[in-house]
Structures are given as structure tokens and as C-alpha cells.
Structure 1
């Protein structure tokens, strides 16, 4: 805090300079004995703008610095921890020993619960756990799977479950098959642990056959029909031809790989054709460019031969003959001369 006075003094100086510009910056510079400023060839408007920016930056810096000091409790001899379930944070401090200041970092762990607070939270969780897992169902009529939670409200509470009839309701909360229509009583027990503390909750339930959706009901009937018409010792598993009194026709479900290969082939063929067409167009463009380059040379040579007294036919034959010899000796291919071969 000992350097904060600077932020109070500097704005005063800037203010004097800023408002003195109206009377002439050089005058204010002379008044403040800032001799190096009096030699600058800057108009008063630019100076006022620059000073205003510096003044605003100084105010912002002061606010940030003062706010940081006000929010800090290090001068009072303590640091604030984050609330329960918070994060450990690192606080940068300056330690002064015998007038010598040294920077130091302190790790501040979040607040932990007392044993009394843990007991209260564990009791509250035990009271709410039944309504949480039932999700609107009645304990006397359960016909949907239960979602057995393993923790409570992001607290470090571990919850484990045990049922006295795992053949009716398994330890994951799923309703098993073969439950009589009148229902079956089951005792579900939850064990809540928080470190050394433990609390047990017993929940009596009556489990009824699971209420199935359309697909679930069909799958259940198919499984029952397959199980009733087969023996695990048989080499083949016989698929029933009737389910629920209705005729059934079975088909192997394809993996879809054939269609993938087909579409991949079509895509490859399309890309290949596009590439060929594009390459053909490029080659044709190069050929036309070569023809435009060769034609003047070809015409010039024919004119020279005609002027030498050759007939048109002889001139063409002579030019073609010379071109063949050039190619045979490793000369370059000329599109224009290829036209007369």
C-alpha cells in the first residue's frame, strides 16, 4: 500500500498540464519547469489528447491497484479460502523481513467440512435419497428401472446399493424378467459413506413386471419365443415362425458394407472421369499454345523454300523431312510441324 500515493499525485500533475493547454502548452510547461517539453513543436490539441489518454490510463491503473489491495487480506494477517468444493489457488505475496522484501507464493486450499457439518449433510442425503431414485414412482408400485446414484450433489459421498432379491431387482436397479403380475416385495439398502462416517438407508419396494415400450415389448416376446423353442445343447438355434400368433419372416440384416463399397466405387469413377476431362482440357490448351508458337516458324520456312524456287509440294516435303531428321537426332517435338507429317 505504501506506493499507492503515487496514483494520487500523478493525476494532479496531469490535470494541471491538461487544463493549462487552454492558456498555451508552452506556458504550462514553463510553469511546471518541464524544460524538455518547451522545445517540442506540437500543437496544443495533440498535447491535450495525449495527456487525456495518459490520465485515463493512470486512473485505470490506480483503480486496479487499489481494488487489488482492498480485496486482499494479507495485510491483516490472513487469506480467504474458497468455499466448500472450491479450488486450491495460488496467491502471490511480498514478504518483508528486516526491511528486505521478497516475493513468495502461498497455496490456499478450499475450506473443508467439520465432522458436525458432515453428519448434517449425510443425514440430509439419507432423507432425500429415496425420492431421488424413485423419480415420481411410488415405492409400492415400481414398474420402471431405477437409477441408483453413486454420489450426492457433488459431495465426496460414496453410495453403494444392495438388494435382498437380485433376481427381481438387480444391484444396478434394473427390473428382471419373470416377475408375477401381483408384484414382489424387495428391500433395497443404500450405504452412504463419507470418510469414516457411514449411514445406511433401507427402502422397501414392491416390484411389478416392467412396463415395456413397443420395441422393448417385441424384443421380449422374440426372446421368449426363441428360448421356448430351443435347447442350448442343439447345434442349431431355430427361429420361430410365429410370434404372438402372427407369422414371421426372418432376413439377415446386412452390415451395409456392400452399399459403402458401391458408393465408394461410383465416387472414385466420377473423380477419375473428372480428372481425365480436366487433364484433357489442360493438354488441349497447351497444344493450342504450341501451335500458335510453331505456325510462324513453319510459314517462314515454307516462304524461304518457295523463294528458293521450290514448288509448294516440294517445300512441304522438305520441311517434313528436316523435321523427321531433327526428331531422330533428339530434337524437340513441335506441334505445328506434326501437322504436316
Structure 2
């Protein structure tokens, strides 16, 4: 089944399912309703979408169904339930109201009951309205104080008082020693504010103290960033190597039509393949000495000639040439040269001319690609120039607007 048939089958299946659902909705009688259930107090409104049917026609009716509100007779029970919930949460992380050492938890709402809570403290210098126990309260500990929770629902409210005792947070072990030393240092700092130097304590409660400048270890940073840099260098070098390979491949493709055309021309004039090869390398060396331009295709040919001079057979040198270039065009051309050497000119001239025609097509294709690449490279400077032009035109216009 082709793509068009699959698409048609899918559309048909959707149409069938839609039609069945429409028929079911049409023939299924709707159940008439007489009432709507409200949300419980505090749960909020509900969006209602109804249809009303009359002798004059059917009409859509949309509205917000408000939550239920408590009757006055219910409120005492609701307030008591709210107090029970507050009893379980207001201490926060403290274990008992007789030993408060940390901040209290003052919720502003009781969502499941729809009640709001207002907190009042006996002294905001001891406990703030958000439940925070102040430093002054902890420094004056132990002390007793009170807080009041006012539960509200509309115009109705009810207050509940809580008694608590703020005590000093008893530290143990190393934390106690640390806080004690810190307190001693702060005390000395206050006493010696007029001195050029602050003398650090050498003992604390019989414990000998030795002071050193704390230094963050450098080795984790060196380990992480060093390895990261090495990885980045590796990938950068790999990318550079791959880019060099891509650049060389492009250079080889550019040189291919020129190499094929010249070599076939020389072979067709009666020269041997090796003689034509040497002639191309001789001309390339002269051009390279004059211009300094290096061409990858001719460099590979020169390496093949060097192999022949070192004793490698001519056929093997042509084969190695095609493999080093790693291009289908060069591999095919090297195989044609090998056949030319083996079989001579008989039947090979036509194949070589076909390769020349193919290389001309490749030359045009390479020229088109270079033109496209040049256009792409010019895109960013054009966008940048456009932004500069807009800035030159718009900035003076904005500056000239009087506010």
C-alpha cells in the first residue's frame, strides 16, 4: 500500500469514527437535571455550561456556580475543627510549646475549611507576625509569651490563645564549641576596635586553639577544569583534522577535471601514461615555484611518481594514488590508467574521453557549489550592514522625539 492509499484509509477511518460518535450523541437521550452540586466552602467557584430547552428553542447558559457558605449554626464546629488543625502545625519544627528554639509556622489560610487566619503576638520584638523568633528573644531566653490566632469566615471570627516558652537553643559537641569560639572572637573584636590588630584567643574553656588561614583546595578545580580543557583541546584538534580532510577533499575535487583533461590530452597525443604523468608533474613544479600555490591533486601525483622512482611498479603506484585520494572519481580514473597501461590504446581512448566529459560536468558542479558557498558567507556581513543602516536611521529619529 503506497502513501496515498494509507492517507486515504486514515482519513476514511477518522470520518467513520466521527460519524459514529455523532450518531451516538444524536440518538442518545440527554438526562434532564434539576439541581447542581456546589463546591464545599473554600473550594472556589465552578464553571457551568448548560443547555436550556424551551418551546421557543434551545439556548446555551454559562455561569459560575458559587461555593457553598456555612450557616451560622455550623461555624462553631468549623472553628473548632480549624483550631485542631492549627494545633498540629503552628509549632513548626519545634517539638513542644515549652521549649521553642526555632521559628513558628503561621499559615494565613486553612484551605480545606475556607477559613482565614490572622496572627497576633504579645510582642513583635519577640515573635514577628510571620512566626519568626527574633534574635532578641533568643538572647533573653528563657522567657514566656503568648500568641493569638484569629480564625475568620466572612463577618464571623473566633480567637484562640497559645502559650509558649522560648528557650536558648542548646548546642552540643562541636557545634557548641564552634559557637562559643565565635562568640569569644566577636567579643574581642568589639573590645579591640581601636587597635591595629585583633589578638585571636589561644584557649577557650581549657581547649587550646591554633589559628590558620583557611584555603580552599585547588586540586579539585585543577582536576575538573584541566580535564575539561584537555577534552576541549582534543575535540578541537579532531575538528581541525576533519576540517583539513574536508578541505583536502574539496581541493582534490577541484583539481580532478584539470588533471584528467591534461593527462588524457597528452596520452591521446601519443605519450605513454608515465610520460604524461611526468610531464604534468614537471609543469606543476614550475608553476609551484613561480606562484607558491600548492594543489593537492598534483601533490598526490608527485607522490605516486616518487613511488615509481623508488622501485614500486607503475600499476601499484596508480592504485595507491586512487586509494590516497579516497574519492570515487580518482579511484575510477586510476583504474582506467591501469587498464590503459595493460591494454594499450585499444578501446581505451573512448573511455578516457568519457571521463573527460564527466570531469567537465564535475567542474561546472564545483563552480556552482563555490558560488553558493560564497553567497552564504556574504549573508552575515549583509545582515550586519543592514543592522548598522537601521541604527543610523532610527537612533537620530528617537533622539529627536520630544518627551
Once the two structures are TM-superposed, the CA of residue 142 in structure 1 deviates from its matched residue by: 0.9
Cα distance, 1:93–1:240 mapped onto 2, change above 3 Å: same
Once residues 160 and 267 of structure 1 are traced to their aligned partners in structure 2, the CA distance between those partners, rounded to angstroms, is 54
- Which consecutive residues of structure 2, in runs of 5 or more, have no partner in the other structure? 1-16, 304-403
Structure 1 partner of 2:169:
210
Once the two structures are TM-superposed, the CA of residue 194 in structure 1 deviates from its matched residue by: 3.4
Offset from partner CA, 1:89-131 (integer Å, 9 cap, x none): 2222233455232222122111122333334322343455445
Secondary structure of the residue aligned to 1:177 is helix
Structure 1 partner of 2:105:
148
Cα distance, 1:287–1:306 mapped onto 2, change above 3 Å: farther
Structure 1 partner of 2:71:
114
Structure 1 partner of 2:284:
320
Once residues 163 and 324 of structure 1 are traced to their aligned partners in structure 2, the CA distance between those partners, rounded to angstroms, is 97
Once the two structures are TM-superposed, the CA of residue 217 in structure 1 deviates from its matched residue by: 3.3
Q: Does structure 1 residue 80 correspond to structure 2 residue 47?
A: no
Cα distance, 1:163–1:103 mapped onto 2, change above 3 Å: same
Offset from partner CA, 1:206-265 (integer Å, 9 cap, x none): 3332233667535532432123212178267665444452414243565x9997698557
Structure 2 partner of 1:40:
none
Match of 1:251 among 213, 228, 231: 213
Query: When the two structures are aligned, how many residues end up with a matched partner?
Result: 274
What TM-score, normalized by structure 1, do the two folds share? 0.58
Q: Does structure 1 residue 199 correspond to structure 2 residue 163?
A: no
Higher helix share: 2
Secondary structure of the residue aligned to 1:81 is coil
| Contact 1:163–1:170 (CA under 8 A) maintained in structure 2 | no
Cα RMSD of the aligned pairs, angstroms, is: 4.9
Q: Does structure 1 residue 337 correspond to structure 2 residue 298?
A: yes
Cα distance, 1:222–1:125 mapped onto 2, change above 3 Å: farther
Once residues 248 and 317 of structure 1 are traced to their aligned partners in structure 2, the CA distance between those partners, rounded to angstroms, is 81
Structure 2 partner of 1:22:
none
Once the two structures are TM-superposed, the CA of residue 281 in structure 1 deviates from its matched residue by: 4.0
Once residues 114 and 184 of structure 1 are traced to their aligned partners in structure 2, the CA distance between those partners, rounded to angstroms, is 42
Secondary structure of the residue aligned to 2:133 is coil
- Which consecutive residues of structure 1, in runs of 5 or more, have no partner in the other structure? 1-52
Once residues 299 and 142 of structure 1 are traced to their aligned partners in structure 2, the CA distance between those partners, rounded to angstroms, is 101
Once the two structures are TM-superposed, the CA of residue 335 in structure 1 deviates from its matched residue by: 1.9
Once residues 210 and 18 of structure 2 are traced to their aligned partners in structure 1, the CA distance between those partners, rounded to angstroms, is 86
Once residues 147 and 128 of structure 1 are traced to their aligned partners in structure 2, the CA distance between those partners, rounded to angstroms, is 15
What TM-score, normalized by structure 2, do the two folds share? 0.50
Secondary structure of the residue aligned to 2:121 is strand
1:243-322 to structure 2, matched below 5 A, reads 243-244=204-205, 245-252=207-214, 263-264=224-225, 267-268=228-229, 270-284=231-245, 287=248, 290=252, 293=256, 307=271, 315=279, 318-320=282-284
